[in-house]
Amino acid sequence: MNKKIIKISILFMIIMTLTLGNIIASQSDSLIITTIGLDKLTIPKNVKDNNLKFNVKLNGKDTSEDINVKVDYYTNSNYIIEEKTNEFIVKDSTIVELSNTNAIDTFNLKEGDYKVNITFTVGSYSKIIKIPLKVVPEFESIYLKVDDSFKKDYTHGKEQPVIIPVRAYGVDANNNEYLINDELLEIKADFSKTMSLSLWNNNGVYYLSLDCNKLDMEVGEYEIIFTAKQYESLDRNKVKYETTATTNLSIIKSVSSISFKSNTMEIEKGKTQKLEIKISPQDALKGEIEWLSEDENIVTVDNGNITGVNIGSTIISAKLEGLVAEILVSVKPICFIEEINIKDVIDSLEDQNQGEVRFETNNNIVMNQEILEVLGKNRQKDVSVIYKNEGKVKYVWTFHGTYIMDKKITNIPLEINTSTDAPEQIKDDMIKKDVQDVMYLNFKNEGEIPCYVDISVYVGDKYKPGDKVLLYHYNVENKELELKTKRLVVNEDGMITFEIDHCSTYVVSSRALFKNNTIMYIVFSIAFIGVIFCVFYFIKKKKAKLNYYKS
């Protein structure tokens, strides 16, 4: 029985202890003090700092009871400075301000580190807030320092707000610097004299938060001027210190779209080619493009330069600011033959794993009819013959299987002579036509050929890259120049490219050439119209005279 009573007593004591502890804990926690603004102070000596505010909550609610406040100053060694103790009462308010006579006062305090203990008492509840205080020499001046690590190129419509940190420092007579953390300090930012924003303080670091989209700031360059003013008192009637600092910000256009000029392209195995990508708008500031090949065993890509590795197709993608463009790249095989060999060419054309057959030569050769017949059967293939002289390409013939016609196929001589002097067979006629300042392309072969052929000819001895020229065909039957193509542009290698199905003499000119009898036709036409006019005039006059006599 006694044991049971003892157990019950012990249990009762434990419950009472826990209950009392909770009551005490609830009482100590029921007075909540929140610092508004700063939680540490750096103040020059012999000044009052009025920047401390506190919110007082009793049991989580505003209190109408009197709030007793006691401010004690301690040295860094925890010795109280009794003559600095300050006590006051706040009535009918839960916001306690240390201002005016209640301000933190550094008068007669030596330079150094202190502690300010502020005791809040509401009825039976009390709580102590400790604020570190650093007393520094009186300032001779202040200056601003802008943290320039922020991103200075702001992409309009894309970026998060720009955050620019700014710090203010006070300088004493010995050029010692102290970070200012003071409500009497005010910093504003002005933008090219169009707007002004205040900075917010976080323990001595002032921040400019700038959302260019919300502020409707246009694309362009902006100079940001920071102005710091430290006032003598909270009424801000008198400025004690003032300074400025500047930085720059560029608001740029964002990329709205990226694309390739086409969805597909071909590249020869072993060749490298630059991909051209279109970025809109053109004046948007472009970041670094990320390139990716889905299969590097087929095509590799490096900064937009693709290289055909093996035969096949893969997708190349370009990524820029979250946008993606894709292109299908196919690697086609090339068969290079040093000198034309009929068997080698035919074997390559019949090999379905081979594509275009290409060979270089320094001999004026003939395209064999057997090759053309096989090319006509393998219509997806091409054959290119490149003629070089002294290491420079002079002309290129490209035969396309799809263009082989159902005509009699014969051997085709491939020699082309270029000159600024007219060939003998048309020289006299060109002199009569007064055709000057032109270049002649004289094909050794004469007449029709059994297919359309792409011809590239070097004209760099007379024309420079970028020049625009016209191509005329000399018709030997009527001895007239017939316009063959519209404007051709000389490429960077000094070559022009055109299509023909007939070989003879062609004339290249940088200006329009008229037929020889054009002027004669014009003169004859004017004379004929004049004669007709005179006849009608004579008939009309004759009729008028007859009518006169009749009347």
State the number of CA atoms in the 13 A half-sphere of 461 facing the CB.
Answer: 16
More confident position, 189 or 531: 189
Q: Which CATH number is correct for 258-331, 3.30.390.10, 2.30.40.10, 1.10.1060.10, 2.60.40.1080?
A: 2.60.40.1080
Which pLDDT tens digit goes with each residue over 208-257? 888 877 777 777 788 889 999 988 777 788 898 999 999 988 877 777 78
Cα–Cα distances (Å) from 101 to 48, 117, 159, in that order, read 9, 17, 47
CATH annotation of 335-509: 2.60.220
Categorize the per-residue pLDDT at 27 as very low, low, confident or very high, splitting at 50, 70 and 90: very low
pLDDT band for 353, please (50, 70, 90 cuts).
Answer: low
Give tens-digit pLDDT for 295-305.
999 899 999 89
**Quick one: average pLDDT of 520-537?**
65
The pLDDT value recorded for residue 26 is 45
pLDDT for 28 beyond 50: no
User: Residue 68 pLDDT more than 70?
Assistant: yes
Q: Specify the CATH number of the domain 141-252.
A: 2.60.40.60
Half-sphere exposure in the Cβ direction for 168 (13 Å, CA):
31
- What b/e readout covers 279-313, taking b as 16+ CB neighbours within 10 angstroms? beeeebbeeebebebeeeebbbbeeeebbbbeeee
**Yes or no: is domain 28-136 CATH 3.10.450.200?**
no
pLDDT at 513 over 60: yes
Angle of helix 342-350 relative to helix 369-377, nearest 10 degrees, comes to 0
Q: Which of 398, 411, 492, 407 is nearest to 444 (CA)?
A: 411
* Residue at token pair 């009918």: 92
pLDDT at 393 over 80: yes
Paired sense of beta strands 305-308 and 257-260, if any: unpaired
